[in-house]
Structure 1
Amino acid sequence: MAIPTTRTALSSRAVVFGFGAHSVIDDMPVLLEMTQLADREGLDLFSLSDHPYIGQRLDAYATVGFVVGRTQNLAGFANVSNLPTRPPAMLARTVTTLSALSDGRVVLGMGAGGLWERIAAMGVEPLTPAQAVEAFEEAIVLVGKLSGGGPPVTFKGRHYQVEQIEPAPVAAPPVWTGSVGPKSLAATGRVADGWIPGHAADWLSARYVASRPVVDEAARSVGRDPREVRTIFNFPGQITERPLARTRDGDGRWIGGSVEQWIEELTAAVVEHGASGFMLFSPRGGTPDLPSLGRWAGDIAPAVREAVAQHAG
């Protein structure tokens, strides 16, 4: 089976595979090695967390730009952008430029902001949870308006305003959100292209079962097909040499297993639960190690793609 190009995979119903990192500056050589391995082995994307108030962390957008410039097919994104510290008009310029330079190898991950004490310490005016969700939805809309060409844009939102700003001639990349609460989930259904369930919740979790219908109903309320909003899972776990007797713990959370057990689990997630993608993390939710990434890219992802294609055919 031919692996789809990154741009096709990100914009179509193809299942996407990637990995996530929480990298500090000293980790850069290892991160480069990992992204080059991922690029060679046909993974679709990598992600970095976006916590600009942590001085040791690599800046997500500077790193994405650097990495996509050193790879051929791998896409990158902030998982998810710390919106309160990145005004949407400037964020639109950043992501459309990255998209133009990389031939579409970027996703716009968006979050409303969570650690408000740390965000406020950077000089950002704190918002209430309701205000943060309003700003989050406005920002997604504004990024779209400032992309794809057209006449100058005037936007008068409650939280963001621009006056006669020329849009970039480049289309906005897909927008994937990290929504958790019901209002944020509804905003995702109305205006986003993908959803990354919070707290590494998977398709069998109570969080997902309760949350996905909120996204779907909001999508239908504005005339969208809910399937337009893809679900991409941050998925931590251990890849073991031998099968495990149990692949989930007492709370039902995935803990890992052999390559064959991963293939079976992820294939079922796509075929039976409509999963659209998976971002590998370490068992504790951090950056995976190189041997695990090699198995993920070289063994698990191709086999799941093949199994899904056989089921569809």
Structure 2
Amino acid sequence: MPDYGHDLLFSANIVPYAQHPDTVVALAQLAERAGLDLVSFQDHPYQPALLDTWTLLGYVAAATETIKLAGNVHPLPLRPPAMLAQAAASLDLLSGGRFELALGSGGYWDAIAAMGAPRLTPGEAVSALEEGIQIIRAAWDTDAPGAVHFHGVHHRVEGTPRGPRPAHDIGIWLGAYKPRMLRLTGRLADGWLPSLPYLQTTAKIAEGNTVIDEAAAEAGRDPRDIRRLLNLGEDLPPAQLAELALEHGVSVFTLMTGDPRQIQRFAAETAPAVRELVAAGRRAAPAPGTGTAAALGTGSAADSAGETARRATPPATAQTAAPQGTALGVTPTPDDGVRLSDVRVWDESTRPTSPRPDPARRYTPREQANGRHLIDVHDHLRAELAQLRDLVDQVAAGALDAEAARSHINAMTMRQNNWTLGAYCEYYCRLVTMHHTLEDAAMFPQRRRAEPALAPVLDRLKEEHQAIHKILERIDRALVAFVGDPAGRLDGLRAAVDLLTDSLLSHLSYEERELVEPLARHGL
């Protein structure tokens, strides 16, 4: 799919917890200071655990100066479109043109109906949204003659005056997944705002773009006039985000997080790297079918913090990467041989190896990007592991007591039912588990078919995944004990995290050593 050419924006989506209103506002201010372009908030008026998003948006607008604001997304059934138009225009005027309007057709119908709104079928909800967009645009069009009259099936407006006019041309972005909503996006909207965890695969982005572009063309619109936005469940590697921009036209990346360190890293590290990659890709103007090749080659700012380790010479005790020269454009991360625990969950000397590559082979930029992607994903896991260990060290050193830790880290996770150290560790364990499940279910079978000689390596990697999952279960048990007795159970938690560190870092290095080159040849 094409690069639509929009400037890149980076955003944080923050859960507006009513229990911690000061934290919500502080995170929005942090996003602005860090240099993000946009901050957005979920809008679920039927959820009493959350702040009213419209009230919060006005408060945050007054507490910030430059960052753009949006809901993510507003369910139209709970707000009459004529009133919504006036509220959006007013907020845009008060904020100096910093507001964008993201809408949805509604989805939680039991909750919506409980608040007094009519219950609609999915088809009726899409029709009502289409009517609402027309009313909103008419209300903003103060150059048109007369008042607004609209006689729809679901909405009626009987001569309401137009205005106020927004401070800038507010974009209407739609949270859309199914064909009819996608076609509506192409006909009437200014942006498409799905969430990657719901889409599950980037192939769904390509499919959605096709439907939107066709509908836009049929309506006489230029598909490039429609921004492509994406909510991210995690901070993906820069190379992957650049590919989403260059191959699928995504230009607004929104990280769903309440972790201040993630917000700062997303703004200070991820955003500049992605911008540089995309700029390089656009300068290269690659031919069709080679979209990200120029952007994702060697020597880019997308090299993550793990690049220094990848270039280092491993000690004699480490399992070194097989000679692969520089043709791959990236070097698998070496195992430094350091072990923190006396426990061994497997015998590293029995690991099988993959066939050695042809030393004379050269790899295209796209092939190099395939191997780099695995290392980028692994570097994200290594960075998260480092954060987890740092947190445990702070508590052990007495730099953080339980109450201070709860106050400082509370925004790092959506979970509020445990001490936050436990919740954050659990989040990391789920991330590792999801990564390994994806490899076992999708990537490894494809590698096995493409190169049967890899079978012993893939079988061993799968066995190690299962062993790591048992360590994660041990951490879960240590967390339960630690939350009940922080003073007396820290050693057990430390031991479990040390064992995870040894096993996971060793495993990631082994996996890169054996799979980076086959991935380059066979693709992802």
TM-score between both structures, scaled by the size of structure 2: 0.50
- Counterpart for residue 189 of structure 2: 192
What is the rounded CA distance, in whole Å, between the counterparts of 1:201 and 1:16 in structure 2? 21
What is the rounded CA distance, in whole Å, between the counterparts of 2:45 and 2:95 in structure 1? 24
Counterpart secondary structure, 1:266: helix
Counterpart secondary structure, 1:288: coil
- Counterpart for residue 163 of structure 1: 158
Letter of the aligned partner of 1:308 in structure 2?
V
Report the alpha carbon displacement of residue 305 of structure 1 after superposing the two structures with TM: 2.0
Letter of the aligned partner of 1:28 in structure 2?
P
- Counterpart for residue 42 of structure 2: 49
After TM superposition, list the pairs within 5 Å mapping 1:261-300 onto structure 2. 262-281=237-256, 287-300=257-270
Among residues 229, 234, 247, which one is paired with 2:231 in the alignment?
234
Conserved? CA contact 2:151–2:157, under 8 Å: yes
Instruction: State the identity %.
Output: 39
Report the alpha carbon displacement of residue 198 of structure 1 after superposing the two structures with TM: 4.4
- Counterpart for residue 61 of structure 2: 68
Deviations 1:51-87 (A, max 9, x none): 1111120111111111011111111111110111011
- Counterpart for residue 357 of structure 2: none
Letter of the aligned partner of 1:197 in structure 2?
P
Q: Which has the higher contact order (CA 8 A, sep 6+)?
A: 1
After TM superposition, list the pairs within 5 Å mapping 1:116-195 onto structure 2. 116-150=109-143, 151=145, 152-171=147-166, 173-195=170-192
Quick check: 1:225 aligned with 2:195?
no
- Counterpart for residue 209 of structure 2: 212
What is the rounded CA distance, in whole Å, between the counterparts of 2:280 and 2:57 in structure 1? 34
Report the alpha carbon displacement of residue 41 of structure 1 after superposing the two structures with TM: 2.2
Counterpart secondary structure, 1:208: helix
What is the rounded CA distance, in whole Å, between the counterparts of 1:59 and 1:200 in structure 2? 24
Which structure: greater helix fraction? Answer: 2
Letter of the aligned partner of 1:288 in structure 2?
G
Report the alpha carbon displacement of residue 44 of structure 1 after superposing the two structures with TM: 1.1
TM-score between both structures, scaled by the size of structure 1: 0.83
Q: Decide which moves more: 67-76 or 201-210.
A: 201-210
- Counterpart for residue 309 of structure 1: 279
What is the rounded CA distance, in whole Å, between the counterparts of 2:208 and 2:249 in structure 1? 14
Q: Decide which moves more: 192-201 or 75-84.
A: 192-201
Q: Unaligned 5+ residue runs, structure 1?
A: 1-11, 239-255, 257-261, 282-286
Q: Decide which moves more: 207-216 or 50-59.
A: 207-216
Quick check: 1:113 aligned with 2:110?
no
Q: Unaligned 5+ residue runs, structure 2?
A: 284-524
Report the alpha carbon displacement of residue 195 of structure 1 after superposing the two structures with TM: 0.5
Counterpart secondary structure, 1:138: helix
Counterpart secondary structure, 1:163: strand
Report the alpha carbon displacement of residue 175 of structure 1 after superposing the two structures with TM: 0.6
What is the rounded CA distance, in whole Å, between the counterparts of 2:222 and 2:198 in structure 1? 23
Conserved? CA contact 2:189–2:226, under 8 Å: yes
What is the rounded CA distance, in whole Å, between the counterparts of 1:209 and 1:304 in structure 2? 20
Report the alpha carbon displacement of residue 201 of structure 1 after superposing the two structures with TM: 4.8
Report the alpha carbon displacement of residue 199 of structure 1 after superposing the two structures with TM: 5.6
Report the alpha carbon displacement of residue 132 of structure 1 after superposing the two structures with TM: 0.5
Report the alpha carbon displacement of residue 205 of structure 1 after superposing the two structures with TM: 2.7
What is the rounded CA distance, in whole Å, between the counterparts of 1:90 and 1:96 in structure 2? 10
Quick check: 1:18 aligned with 2:18?
no
What is the rounded CA distance, in whole Å, between the counterparts of 2:128 and 2:253 in structure 1? 28
Letter of the aligned partner of 2:71 in structure 1?
A
What is the rounded CA distance, in whole Å, between the counterparts of 2:233 and 2:8 in structure 1? 17
Letter of the aligned partner of 2:103 in structure 1?
M
CA RMSD, Structure 1 to Structure 2 (Å): 1.8
Counterpart secondary structure, 2:140: coil
What is the rounded CA distance, in whole Å, between the counterparts of 2:178 and 2:201 in structure 1? 18
Which structure: greater strand fraction? Answer: 1
Letter of the aligned partner of 1:156 in structure 2?
H
Conserved? CA contact 2:15–2:24, under 8 Å: no
